[in-house]
Copies of this chain bind each other. A is one copy, B any other.
Amino acid sequence: MQQENARRSNRERTEATRAALMAAARALFIEKSYAETATPEIVAAAGVTRGALYHHFADKQALFRAVVEREAAEVAAEIERATPDAENARQALLDGGRAFLAAMATPGRTRLLLLDGPAVLGRAAMDEIDNRHGARTLREGLEAAMREGAMKPAPVEALTALLAAAFDRAALSIEAGAAQADFIETLGVVLDGLFLPTP
């Protein structure tokens, strides 16, 4: 038996407390939404006090932001890990989209990133987070496809936003019970429509 609270450095204490808070908060935000989760619940589940919470985070929203930010980074990492390198730009986009849907199938991610995130942090903040992680890859894929001459020219920022929104909605509908195959097929049709016919 080892002492459960042996001497720990401040660095370790901070890391452990923040991790416990973020894990507990994530679980509750997913189960009941941000608005219906109270800070007393979070700290009880994390095994700390509200004092600790407000010492490490400015307020409840800052804790939520930290959770969302980490989740977005994990989604981006999963996508990057799952899409090694495709032959052409078209296949790369399809593979990336499929990997995105797979990553978003992790329970709670749609609520965190697509429902509560935009409402609590604002769409501008979510855009900024996205651009730092997932959406950047999508935009670069589209730019590459256009540069290759395989894709119809269009304003890249706008096209990135529209396609990202379509993928987001697909993830939401699939989580709500819609047929995944239908959405993957339809996303393929939409993407194919953006490519020039190969003569």
- Chain A positions within 8 Å of B, measured between CB atoms, are 33, 35, 115-116, 118-120, 122-124, 127, 152, 154-155, 157-159, 161-166, 168-170, 172-173, 176, 178-179, 182-183, 185-187, 189-190, 192-194, 197
B123, A119: Cβ atoms under 8 Å?
Answer: no
Which residues of chain B are within 8 angstroms of A183 by Cβ–Cβ distance?
Answer: 155, 158, 161-162
Complex CA gap A173/B163 in Å reads 13
Complex CA gap A185/B163 in Å reads 14
B154, A189: Cβ atoms under 8 Å?
Answer: yes
B173, A169: Cβ atoms under 8 Å?
Answer: no
A162, B187: Cβ atoms under 8 Å?
Answer: yes
A186, B159: Cβ atoms under 8 Å?
Answer: yes
- Nearest chain-B residue to A180 (Cβ)? B158
Which residues of chain B are within 8 angstroms of A197 by Cβ–Cβ distance?
Answer: 197
Which residues of chain B are within 8 angstroms of A189 by Cβ–Cβ distance?
Answer: 152, 154, 159, 194
